[in-house]
Chain A
Amino acid sequence: MTREEIEKITNGFLVDEIEINPEILLPESSLKNDLGIDSLDFVDIVVIVEHNFKFKIKAEEMASVKTLKDFYDYLETKVNESNK
């Protein structure tokens, strides 16, 4: 899966399933403060990521994920790991 595909799928579910306004999905957007993703939304994102990317997010791995770009980076790393 390419980086571009990862970003497209991620943006897709953030808009369609988490119902975030697509106009604020910028790489520098803060997940918490700009996109309004709270702890309950995070529970749902774990489910959606497992469905789309076939791995389960671990909370401790997300500690340094603050922005949307951080999230894309994290997903790319995990997807590549599981492909090895």
Chain B
Amino acid sequence: MRRVVITGMGIYSCIGENLSDVCDSLFKGVSGIGIEACRTEYGYRSPLTGIVKKPNLKLLLDRRLRIGLAEQAEYAFMATKEALDNAKIDMDYLEQNEVGILYGNDSSAKAVINSHTIILDKKDTALIGSGAIFQSMNSTVSMNLSVIYKLKGVNMTISAACASGSHAIGLGYLFIKNSLQDMVICGGAQETNYLSMGSFDALGAFSTRMDAPQKASRPFDAGRDGLVPSGGAATLILEDYDHAIKRGATILAEVSGYGFSSNGDHISQPKNEGSFIAMSRAVKDAGLQAKDIDYINAHATSTPLGDLNEAMAIDSLFGETKPFVSSTKSMTGHECWMAGASEIVYSTLMMQNSFIAPNINFENPDEYSAKLNIADKTIQQNIDVLLSNSFGFGGTNSALVIKKYKGF
């Protein structure tokens, strides 16, 4: 069977707008969390958020290619531009070869709300402009990027809540492994505007540690009080190994396993059994055992119940070998539809640079996280194999195993 490798990556996040800056932030344990004051005025219980800079695409894209891009599609363009440059893929290559796109996204609230506001005011749909429909759909990212990059392969958006980005990579891996595509642009994108997170804030799920924003996201810590929403975009170029070698591509890592499951239970509460199944399937799919995993990039979002359940699942599967565990959400906040993809970028950067990024703000374990080997500081350590978890509303679970490439 074919092997699937990563030949390019790109990132646009609250801890950096390119791979180099993000790697630096991860190593130093830098937080990208802040306060957006307008959220309080608007009616949020918690105005904490990852702070992501708005990109300026005017010099990068013609108007027609730009105006259908929703906010998260703009982030995805920036991440994809870096990933394609990183993979040394230019427009000539894209025009002459079949490349697909499987990108994670699960909302486009701002665009819909803006259109509604105009129609309500003007009583005329003709006054919202031509970009509105293309910005308003969940598939805004894959739709627009496939036009910008003239893609002719598989073309769709994966919507699976906070596991969207991870499932997108898992599906890209399956398409390539099964010879349906040679190259797929995979990723995850998340809008960060205040209009998009109100209904999530309504659940009371966000941290209210406003006196210390950078300490608010504290996965696995006994004092955690909720997640901090965040976003941006992350892109990975997945490719068939032989195809990559023939092209002369640099191999960054191998996607060697994908596991998925669904809890069939509560819509918002996680279930450790479901997480366990996804993780074990990913490890088995990679042809490995639990003892082979050196590092786990946890899903852990800093919610009381979520982190607890994941800690139980990790301990059930890895209790004997206790690999290092950290949640980069401690620094980035919960990047939602982007997270599954961005965390593969973060983890691969760690693997390439032989360090484990810290789970910052982990000061006191609770009875469940006490059983895990949590890296509360940066650890300089070789990683040969890592596992990345992403779990979403509706009980959707995804896990990916990434292996260091040392030649096949």
- Please report A residues at the B interface, Cβ cutoff 8 Å: 18-19, 38, 40-41, 43-44, 46-47, 50, 56
Contact = CB atoms under 8 A, between A and B. Distances in A.
B62 A47 contact: no
9 contacts: A19-B62, A40-B64, A41-B130, A44-B67, A44-B129, A46-B126, A47-B129, A56-B126, A56-B127
A50 B129 contact: no
Nearest to A46: B126
Interface string B236-274: 000000000000000000000000000000000000000
Contacts, number: 25
Contact of B127 (A18, A19, A40, A46): A46
Contacts of B126: 43, 46-47, 56
A44 B130 contact: yes
Nearest to B124: A56
B406 interface: no
B114 to A, nearest CB: 13
Q: Which 5 A-B pairs have the closest CB atoms?
A: A43-B130, A40-B130, A19-B63, A47-B129, A44-B130
A71 B129 CA distance: 19
A47 B128 contact: yes
A3 to B, nearest CB: 26
Interface in B125-145: 126-131
Given A43-B126, A56-B124, 17 more contacts: A18-B63, A19-B62, A38-B64, A40-B64, A40-B130, A41-B64, A41-B130, A43-B129, A43-B130, A44-B131, A46-B127, A47-B126, A47-B127, A47-B128, A50-B127, A56-B126, A56-B127
Main DSSP-derived SS at the B contact region: loop
Nearest to B131: A44
Interface string B51-63: 0000000000011
Contacts of A40: 64, 130
A46 B118 CA distance: 14
A50 B131 CA distance: 17
A51 B68 CA distance: 20
B27 to A, nearest CB: 41
B253 to A, nearest CB: 40
A43 B62 CA distance: 17
Interface string B71-101: 0000000000000000000000000000000
A46 B129 CA distance: 8
B132 to A, nearest CB: 9
Contacts of A41: 64, 130
A46 B132 CA distance: 14
A65 B67 CA distance: 25
Nearest to A48: B129
Contacts of A46: 126-127
Nearest to B134: A40
A14 B117 CA distance: 25
Nearest to A20: B63
Contacts of B131: 44
A47 B64 CA distance: 16
Interface in B177-219: none
B209 to A, nearest CB: 43
B136 to A, nearest CB: 14
B124 to A, nearest CB: 7
A41 B67 CA distance: 10
Contacts of B124: 56
A26 B67 CA distance: 26
A21 B67 CA distance: 18
A56 B128 CA distance: 13
A50 B118 CA distance: 13
A48 to B, nearest CB: 9
Nearest to B68: A40
Nearest to B127: A47
B308 to A, nearest CB: 50
Contacts of B127: 46-47, 50, 56
A18 B62 CA distance: 10
Nearest to A51: B127
A18 B126 CA distance: 17
Contacts of A18: 63
Contacts of B130: 40-41, 43-44
Contacts of A19: 62-63
A56 B124 CA distance: 10
B57 to A, nearest CB: 12
A19 B61 CA distance: 11
B116 to A, nearest CB: 16
